[in-house]
Structure 1
Amino acid sequence: MSGPTPAASRTPTLADVAAAAGVSLSTASLAFSGNKPVSEPTRARVLAAAAELGYSGPNPLARNLRQGRSGVVGIAVGRLSTAFRDPAALPMLDAVSEVLGTAGLGLLLMGDDEGHARLPLDAVIYDVCGREDGWTPYDDLVARDVPLVVVEGPSWPGTTFIDIEHRAGSAALSRHLHDLGHRRVALVTLEQSHPQREREAGVREVFPDARIVGECASDLAAAQALVSDYLSTSPDVTAIVCQSDVQAAGAVLAARRLGLSVPADLSVGGFDGVATPWLDLELTTVVQPIAAKGRTAAHAALARIAGERVDDVVLPVELRVGQSTGPA
């Protein structure tokens, strides 16, 4: 092996490797990329020269930029300060990052700051539980022809829509309560969104006159305060349906604080199927495939980046009867 050796103080380049291996710069590049056939002896000579010089390979960001790509997918998660408090969000993000990482792409978490969406992103996944306002980058992304995958609404034009069976799941939970003899049912909702509307519609298929306790985020303290205030003035309800398991956990804690037994005095149902280790009972809940939803969204983004047509996807949910519901 012969050729000039780069100075110790300088990071070796592909040109240094090509010179050390006695091949052209284009041949050295092909030996790394694998896009076109290079003889095995030549490839081995290039890789051996790279190892000796401490050259780790072409810069993936530079390569992607030459191809008109950044190698980064953005995911809009709303307020970054609260995005990781919802246990239903973490498995979703983990699944997205796993798929993108395997494909060699990075993941950029985007909050309410619309400036992130102006970065050279290969695609954007919108995952803020269906919030339909307050996110102005949509128009800019569409104008720049950036592939957009929307998780759980809204179903914007030009996007790929990944959803779950919100209405069917809530209806199944409501039928379970109805079969237990419940008729006076109240509902804790999420903030106005596609999931909120669909989950409420499922409850009203069975309980058209269900009362509204109020709305709040998937936040334990907020749900506990909301339900506590409601039960203090409306003690005649026999069941409360919540639109998230965190809300349901808050409802259980609020009922107990008021001296009510769950489920003997009050049944509580949730939605998501996440772990609630701060409770000493298993919630009756609608289990959604959170990790599968993340993987589906990530694969849809990869397909859109490749220029493929991607159909909308609706994933199934399943009722899991736990210890928080009983006869009225």
Structure 2
Amino acid sequence: MAGPTRTPTLADVAAAAGVSLSTASLTFSRNKPVSESTRQRVLSAATALGYAGPNALARNLRQGRSGVIGIALGPLSTAFRDPAALPLLDAVCEGLESAGLGLLLMGDNEDVDHSQIPLDGVIYMICGRETWAAQADLAARGVPMVVVEGPTWPGTTFVDIDHRAGVAALAAHLRDLGHRRVATMTLQPSHPERERLAGLREVFPDAHVIGACESDLSAAQIMAATYLETAPDVTAVVCHSDVQAAAVILESTRRDLRVPEDLSVSGFDGVATPWLDLELTTVVQPFAEKGRATARAMLARINGEPVSDVLLSVQLRIGGSTGPA
């Protein structure tokens, strides 16, 4: 009975092509030019032997690299339910993949041991948590980190948007429409949440906080139903995500409240809300630009290049969900 077939090696390819091992290696790595005739001879020998090429992971590890960037998204079971997460993640992945890097999705579960995962860098995004057990270990290992929208851990590069200015501009728009009694639906405590609430307080220091919930349509509509059941004496609700705003509008409509005639509603993010029959007044954040900035910062960090924190501007978009008080 024949023994198991041995996997061909680069040395086998070099011998079959009649070249040195270093020449065969240069043919695959392209670090230095190899004549076209030699290159074709090496590639033909590789094809004949069934040699697929050098092991990329082993090569990277020899160079002190794994070729993998971790992307921490918070609870993975809910990370992709927020429509604000997808365009940002798309832009980040596009920038990293174009540099030949692999991506590893990571949750923020405190019970998962990340100490044995070989990573060139980590991007912490869409998490919102102020602490992460893996952060201390990654910092101790010297793994470069880029943090999107907080927290501002020492030694990390910070990519953010101007939450406060965006909500302050939105609040000023409502004030100019004559609104004085305003309520707000917030996100869970986090850096973005604190900044957005501070922007609202600049214009409406006494704005009533309805409560905090995730950017989830069902959860936000339940919270809106509980609040509107009390017939609150407010003329506008400022939501800290477009999904929350859509939930308030849907619940208002269910209760025969007209938007914006009876209640003005606004959001934050600038995501598509096709389930509404009116355009939402919202603060539009630059998802693609933020994602590209995050990828650039990560690439600079892993290459040992200097990189500064990034703060991107946002834009107020006035739609049909807000009107005169």
4+ aligned runs moved over 4 Å, structure 1: 7-10
Are 1:242 and 2:256 an aligned pair? no
Question: Using the alignment, how far apart are the partners of 1:156 and 1:113 within structure 2?
Answer: 18
**Cα deviation per residue 1:192-228 (whole Å; 9 max; x = unaligned)?**
0000000011111111111101100111111111122
Task: Spell out, residue by residue over 1:110-129, the C-alpha distance to the aligned partner (whole angstroms, 9 max, x if none).
Answer: 11235353211110000134
1:104 to 2:100 alignment: yes
Residues 236-275 of structure 1: pairs in structure 2 closer than 5 A: 236-275=233-272
Between 1:141-150 and 1:175-184, the stretch displaced more is 175-184
After TM superposition, the score normalised by the length of structure 1 is 0.94
- 1:318 deviates by 0.7
Partner AA of 1:233 in structure 2: T
Count of matched residue positions in the alignment of Structure 1 and Structure 2: 321
Alignment counterpart, residue 63 of structure 2, candidates 67, 87, 93? 67
Question: 2:130 maps to what in 1?
Answer: 132
Q: How does 1:125-274 map to 2 (within 5 A)?
A: 125-133=123-131, 135-274=132-271
Tell me the equivalent position of 1:318.
Answer: 315
Q: Which runs of 5+ in 1 are unaligned?
A: 1-6
Paired residues of 1:129 and 1:195 also in contact (CA < 8 A): no
The one-letter code sitting in structure 2 at the alignment partner of 1:265 is D
SS for the counterpart of 1:80 is coil
Q: Deviations over 1:94-142 (max 9, x none)?
A: 1122111111111111112353532111100001343203x11111111
The alpha carbon displacement at 1:234 in A equals: 4.2
Q: Which amino acid aligns with 1:293?
A: K
User: What is the RMSD of the two structures over their aligned residues, measured on CA atoms?
Assistant: 1.6
- Call closer, same or farther: CA 1:99–1:8 in 2, change over 3 Å: farther
Alignment partners' CA distance in 1, 2:276 and 2:150: 31
Per-residue deviation, 1:179:
1.1
Q: What's the CA shift for 1:287?
A: 0.6
Task: Report the secondary structure of 1:117's partner residue.
Answer: coil
Contact kept, 8 Å, 1:110 with 1:116, in 2: the verdict is no
How far apart are residue 293 of structure 1 and its match? 1.2
Structure 2: 5+ residue runs without aligned partners? none
**Length-normalised TM-score, structure 2:** 0.94
Q: How far did residue 159 of structure 1 move?
A: 0.1
Answer yes or no: is the 8 Å Cα contact 2:72–2:127 preserved in 1.
no
Identify if the C-alpha distance between structure 1 residues 187 and 108 changes in structure 2 by more than 3 Å, giving closer, same or farther.
same
- Which amino acid counterpart does residue 123 of structure 2 have in structure 1? I
Q: Which amino acid aligns with 1:304?
A: R
Deviation at residue 174 of structure 1 after TM alignment: 0.8
State whether structure 2 residue 33 is matched by structure 1 residue 37.
yes
Does structure 2 retain, via aligned residues, the 8 Å contact 1:122–1:146?
Answer: yes
- The answer to which of 219-228 and 190-199 deviates more is 219-228
Match of 1:3 in 2: none
Once residues 323 and 10 of structure 1 are traced to their aligned partners in structure 2, the CA distance between those partners, rounded to angstroms, is: 69
Trace 1:268-283 onto structure 2 (pairs within 5 A): 268-283=265-280
Same amino acid, percent of matched pairs: 72
Instruction: Tell me, in whole angstroms, the C-alpha distance in 1 between the residues paired with 2:13 and 2:323.
Output: 72
Q: Pairwise mapping of residues 63-102 of structure 1 onto structure 2 (< 5 A)?
A: 63-102=59-98
